[in-house]
Amino acid sequence: MQALPGFRDFLPEGCAKRNCIFARWREVSRRYAFVEWEGPVLEPTELYKKKSGSEIVDQLFNFTDKGEREVAMRPELTPTLARVVAAHEREFKKPLKWFSIGQFFRYEKQQRGRLREHFQLNCDIIGENDLAADIELVALCIDVLRAFGFTEKDFVVRISDREFWTDLFRENNVPAERWDELLQVIDKSGREPREKTAEKLGHLADPVFAILKSGGQSEKLDKLVDGLCRRGLADFVAIDVGIVRGLAYYTGIVFEAFDRAGKFRAIAGGGRYDNLTAQLSDDALSLPAIGFAMGDVVLGELINEIPRAREAMQKAITSDRKIDIYIVIAKEERRTDALTQIQQLRDRGYRIDYSLTPTKVARQFQAAEEEGASLALLYGDEWPQVKVKNLATRAESLISHDALLDSVAKFLNMPGSV
Ligand code: HAM
């Protein structure tokens, strides 16, 4: 039996990599003073039907539960966030700066960079209209990627503004009901034959192609880039009006992060969604919002692709896996004494391993090396003294078992002491 298509088993190596990704996500989000929150993985299907737009609705993992409710595994977090904020808004000072790390489910055709489950970091600022929030959020997205060792040569955040397109629709008297559909066509235009896009756009094809070719310009986008420039981040961004985003709720600035080589799908995407909370609140409470999500799948591929990031990840995994002390039981009569001290050492927070069953001493030392232990403590003929071995320098000393806890503490703070 294998996992379902598009679902992953996380063996220890994969889990270590995932934990390392989560740790970086959390660390950088906190550097920006974002606080963590979480929502349910199952929501009423209606939430996505109303809010996410047709593309995501077609990809829902949905079913009728035993209480006859129509439910869906969450494909994204933003509608949940808007629902939660609409319900609890009064309890918090604005703006809210919230982040979340969780798993999401989309019944997509499995392909490189696209699975049926993935993890996302979501970062959102709610309750702030000012462009300062947009700048802060794009900077956060850049800094999260920089934390993995990527530079401006490895990735770029392409920034756009949906208002370019909605202004064009307005000028051409396109009814508002058609905007979403046309935005989807423009969003896909880079991936589809020109004739197909032209046919779908009708009389708008020429002006749309002209804007895509010339690139757009606006005071808002200039200010945004200027804000990033002042933080020394200008080399990480480019204006690209072809970025529209597939989700229905975006209202203004939108952006996506890509690898520079253009080999992978988007690493992250987001934008402004100023009307979503109003649509989900009973009293039509309007709260401006901007956010982005970064997925673990494309990010993981890019980490493997760029040697600097791959090595940094490997180093972090190796160091995270290391144990502090390996207990070598050289004489089985000493096992109980050793276990008493193992318990004491673990209570003090040290990572300890030992052989569960009688094993040759050489094999136990080999395990100590493989697990990256700093110290080996040998329980054998020397009892009531314990042989303490510094596995880096091979230096050894004998310490009475009742003085061991202090000696170990001293050594692990200052490895030269054995
Ligand atoms: P999204 O662009 O649909 O945005 O997803 C964000 C990121 O999640 C993508 O750039 C991609 O890395 C990853 N991702 C999406 N689908 C898959 C998949 N099937 N397999 C692997 N990775 C995937 C959103 O979800 C918005 N809710 C983001 C947002 C937050 N906007 C405002 N706040």
Q: Which residues contact 293 (CB under 8 A, 6 or more apart)?
A: 76, 77, 78, 120, 121, 122, 123, 268, 269, 270
In a shared domain, residues 275 and 147: yes
| Rounded (to 5) percent helix, strand, coil in the chain | 45, 20, 35
For ligand 1, is residue 75 a contact (CB within 6 Å)?
A: no
CATH number at residue 406: 3.40.50.800
120 shares its domain with 96: yes
- 109 shares its domain with 93: yes
Residue 68 located in a structural domain:
no
Within this chain, do residues 355 and 238 fall inside the same structural domain, yes or no?
A: no
Q: Are residues 360 and 275 in the same domain?
A: no
Question: Among the three residues 297, 316, 335, which one is the final residue of a domain in this structure?
Answer: 316
Tell me which of 264, 299, 316 is where a domain ends.
Answer: 316
Q: Do 25 and 155 sit in the same domain of this protein?
A: yes
How far does residue 78's CA lie from ligand 1's centre (Å)? 10
409 and 298 in one domain?
A: no
Q: Is residue 381 part of a domain?
A: yes
- Looking at 282, 316, 350, which one is the last position of a domain? 316
Q: 200 C-alpha vs ligand 1 centroid, how far in Å?
A: 25
Burial 342-378 (b: 16+ CB within 10 A, else e): beebeeeebbbbbbeeeeeeeebbebbeeebbbbbbb
Task: Verify whether ligand 1 is closer than 6 Å to residue 140 (CB atom).
Answer: no
Percent pLDDT > 90 in the chain is 80
Which residue, judged by its Cα, is nearest atom 18 of ligand 1? 114
pLDDT in tens, 263-295: 999 999 999 999 888 887 777 678 999 999 999
The model's pLDDT over 120-164, given as tens digits with 9 standing for 90+, comes to: 999 999 999 999 999 999 999 999 999 999 999 999 999 999 988
Ligand 1 center from residue 24 Cα (angstroms) = 18
Q: Does pLDDT of 417 surpass 70?
A: no
Q: Which domain holds residue 186?
A: 12-39+77-316
Q: Which atom of ligand 1 is nearest to the CA of 113?
A: 21
Q: Is 301 in the pocket of ligand 1 (CB under 6 A)?
A: no
Closest Cα to atom 16 of ligand 1: 114
Neighbours of 396 (CB within 10 A): 12
pLDDT for the residue numbered 52: 72
**Residues in the chain, overall count:** 418
8 ligand 1 Cβ < 6 A: no
Q: What is the mean pLDDT of the chain?
A: 93
- Are 402 and 303 contained in the same domain? no
Same domain, 169 and 278: yes
Report CA(120)–ligand 1 centroid distance (Å).
7
Q: Do 395 and 262 fall within a single domain?
A: no
Determine how many CB atoms are found less than 10 A away from the CB of residue 44: 15
Q: Is residue 133 part of a domain?
A: yes
> What pLDDT score does 316 carry?
94
**pTM across the whole model:** 0.93
Domain count, the chain: 2
| Distance of CA 273 from the midpoint of ligand 1 (Å) | 15
Ligand 1 close to Cβ of residue 78 (< 6 A): yes
Pocket of ligand 1 contains residue 76 by CB under 6 Å = yes
Closest-lying ligand 1 atom to the alpha carbon of residue 115: 20
Give yes or no for residue 413 having a pLDDT over 90.
Answer: no
The answer to whether position 59 is within a domain reads: no
- SS3 assignment, position 281: coil
Residues 261 and 402 in one domain: no
Same structural domain, 332 and 303: no
